[in-house]
Structure 1
Amino acid sequence: MLVLAIVLLPIVVLYLLGLYASTAISLWRLIQHDFGGDGGTNKKPALVILYSLAMAQGVVFLYMIVHAWGAKIGIVKLVAHSYELQEDSELVSGYLDASIKGCMKEPSFARGRNLITYAVDKLMEFDKSRDSYLCGVKILSKVVRLDSMEFRSQQVLAKELLTGSPSLIRHLLETMGPRSPYDRDIREHAARVVAHVAGGIHLDSFPGGVIGCVSALLPEEYEEGGDHWLWEDLERQWLLEECERRRWLLKPPRPPVTIDGMVEASKVLVEQGLLILRKLAADEDNCRVISNAPGLVCKIMAPLTSAKLHGDYHDQWSGIATESMKLVLSLMAAPGTGEVQSQISSNMKAITGILDCRECAVLLKRRATQILLDLSLETQPPGGRVFIWMLLLIFVLPDDFFDTTISSVGWVKKRRYIRRLAGEKLQAAEQSVGGVISDLGTAIAENDPYMAHAAMILGHLWAHCSDEYLEQVKQCVFDVMPKVLREILRRPPARPAADDLENGRDSSRDQQDLERREDIMLKKSLISFCRTIHDTRWELTARVDEIADEVMSELGERGHGIMYLLSSAESKVSKYQIRRVR
């Protein structure tokens, strides 16, 4: 500390008094010259002192600039990291510059201001500066996506400021709409902002505008003409990027995209469009407008009825189908929306196909079953065993455990009816709750093709079911846990030898690669099931650890509890995946 004080004290004194000292000395010597006689012996020391003072001031000034620049970079990085704006840190830098400039003019400028108010102010400049408007859109898009509770107040503020300005909402709709002059990325940002405020929009206040712009985000169909809906989007994107590149003469062309990449990029706009409609549908008046909009219901149903999208791009399709189903359930629950029921009834095969699909997630199958129940399905659909499991899941566990997002008032009321109907269907099928729980265990023990789904359902029941069914669930879990752990520890199928290709056995290699991928996905699902079992019933952790140690003992290894076993298994699964990629 003493050394630091000795070094810094002269700098501080020089910084505070240097300007005054140099001015006073200069004035004194201008009035009273002392050149040291005719030879001017004092001129050289005087010049040394003068230049030294000037040099010292320059060093201090340079230090101030470097310090301010470094501090700015540090602040920008910190804020950008907090708001997940690392790739767009120039947006935060602009906010900091504007704040400093405003505070220099008026010290109270920053009072009541933050990144949200800055972004909304930038949006207000849409008729003056294109770049300022896009800056506001990007910032708000990032902020509304943050899940942390510390940003909730800012997200509420953004919603209040935007809903209080219909002109801003109209301009955001135009930005994401069919005649937008912007590329896909900007349209996605605008769509996210609109989705954030959609719950507060009344369609009567925007006649035709909202529905037309949102509808433009949804392809009319996915089947006819192959992938033309992707190529149209890609062509639009390429033209906009080419114009932008020619405008600035600096941006290099993007690398070529694959079909999977196109689907992944296009699905974001589709998901956001469906999310906007679902939030709008929380209001019954909006629900009727959506249901009566020409052709809109067909667009909403298109992802669910597309065998091509479901079969060829399943991972991307799942997110779109989830949003589509949530919206369909909300629309079906609203009064006066008979077109939705008739549209779904005519595409029953697509809905039941979700129950048959081995790749579709449990929650997606749950929503498909809810749709079938709402249509008062008289006969049990194909894949009846999975259908019975879904009836159990709906009857025992309410929707509140799975979906906390905004729902329409009609759907909140109707889901009680659907839950009761699921119980009645179980009785009609002569299935008790205990019997279905036992069947879940049987499916796991017998390596049923839907073994992963049975495990996930059993995990949900373990975590959330009431005391009425807990003992049955506990017994089933303890019975199947050894089988599950052995399956997790089992090595995946070996890849075919390299000389198989030379012998013309390429198809066999592809088949074994497929089996290997399916085995890895099964292991991941079972590991997730085991983590749920371990993490949600702490009072039973000791028993679960005992089972894990017994399984390890059978393999001739020392047990260290289930978490050690799962961590080791996850590491091996990751290695298998890396080898497959190579």
Structure 2
Amino acid sequence: MGGFSLHRVAPYPHRARVQGCRSGAGVHHRAMPTVPAIHVWAVRFSLDFAVASNLSGLRTISAYEENKLVRNVADAYGFDEASRGSVLDYLHEIKVGCEKDPSFAGGRNMITYAAQLMESTSPNRYLSGVRILDTLIRFNSGAIGSGFPGQSMLISNTIGSASSGSILHNLVQMLDSKSPYDEEIRLRAARIVEHFVIDIRLDKILQGIQCISSLLDLKPFHQPDEPLEEYGHRISVGEEGQMQVRGIQILLKLSDDENNLRIMSNTDDLVWKIVALINDKELHLRKHDKWSRDIVDPGVKLIKRFMSATTRSNNILWREISTSLEAISSLESIIDCDKCDEEVKKQAIRVLAQICWDTSSVMGDQNKERFIGSLIDMFLHKSKGSQFENLAGEELAQLSFGFGSCATIILEKYGPNMIDCIGKTDSGLYNSIHRKIAADVLKHLYGNYSIDDEHFQNLKEAMIDLLPKVLREVLGWGLTETHIQRVPSYTAPAGSGLAATQDNDGRLQEALASLCATVYNRMVNTDADLADRFEDITARMCDLAAEPLKTFSDLIQEAMQRQPPYYPPENAMRSNDENPNECCIS
């Protein structure tokens, strides 16, 4: 029977050869392959060794050569010291099996071996299988392993398939083990579960969400990375921290599935565990970037998803978040932090706005005033940069749409700011987007505010002055009463994005016309004297504009039907051969 040679899978110079003979001659080992060659060998799950053609060689291989062979394979794959024994066990099993049956190695590889071990009731064999699978998954996620997709596919087909569902289910349930002997298994199982998270359906795994969320219960991972007291397969404090990170990443990925998100949203205490990690003040100060990247970013995204409208029905976590002072404080600290990521801050703003709007939340008026004030500063004064002004304005518009304390705060403290944003068109401070959002805020306030108090009366008087100016702008009648002329409401600056300008101007015009209609209808329906006052204003407007006499209602209807001005592209204003610098008068 011919000798076993690796050169058939590892081209020169990355080749190695182990030869043996039927007569029992010693096995001669030549240059071991480099990492790429070892990998090509191992893709065919190297320790199969072509045993059918070389049983004598395997039986006579020395312990030294055997250990060296295992060490090279282990080094190539990244097996740690604790896991190398699993590679040696695999070799021994292949040897023993092939001695009894030369075809024993057919179809076997390290992945199927790991799956077989993980179906065992023996704790040691189960741990060995988890070690192999965890190592192979991490290898294939690296730079070298990513070049061999066939191995990843085999892992997925072997472990992630429906027929192997029990393996994945057992791994999930192992995450909740409190035995100190299982600490290493929990860490490796967490990495494996994260790899197969797309295959997990929480409604198919008994106590699945409780098992996964138990990963968040561990000690804070900012402690010194020193090994704990030896007892079984213990892990370091730093590795405990890795489990927290894995846990929150698994939860975030699980929430991509709507059914999983529904189950998570109705799980008691899940939000407390997430908030506790986000609230880690020491880590925030000492390792901010790591804390923000590993914990805060996925944590806030999860909270935002729990607050989503699609999961609000019978949503336990919605109520837990809205009634948690710790959650509110955490989100506020993220917004105020100068180091926190922009996207994380935006998520925190959205969640806080939902809490602020929720009348059942524990967010007090003082906190609401502070939050709304920060939105005003972001919206009108760019206190956190231009990237936050639109978001802040949109949230203000939402908060003004209702009967709660948020609308009252906006009306009492910031109503004049909204009036100025719309009316002071010559200040250069506010663009079309600012003014459109301000119009939405005022429309919501005036259309829904139900208390006819001093603040509402002040708003009413301000709106009586503002509406004629707004109508003249939308109708293109100019902005002054002394010289009304038909002009576009906005002139696009040279070199600007004309399509965006056209769109923003159209949205502004719709918002202003809608504001006029809402305010006018409520005023004249509740105060007949105001109807006469508006008709006097209309008569003066039509006279100055040399227009036929119309009612204020007619002008509003005309404004609502009016199309925004069209700004032709700059190049369309002249022919291709026209010199832009040449005077048109000869």
Q: What TM-score bracket applies, with the shorter chain setting the length?
A: 0.3 to 0.5
Bigger relative CO (Cα 8 Å, ≥ 6 apart): 1
Which of the pair has more CA radius of gyration? 2
Determine which structure has the larger helix proportion and give its number.
1
TM-score under structure 2 length normalisation: 0.45
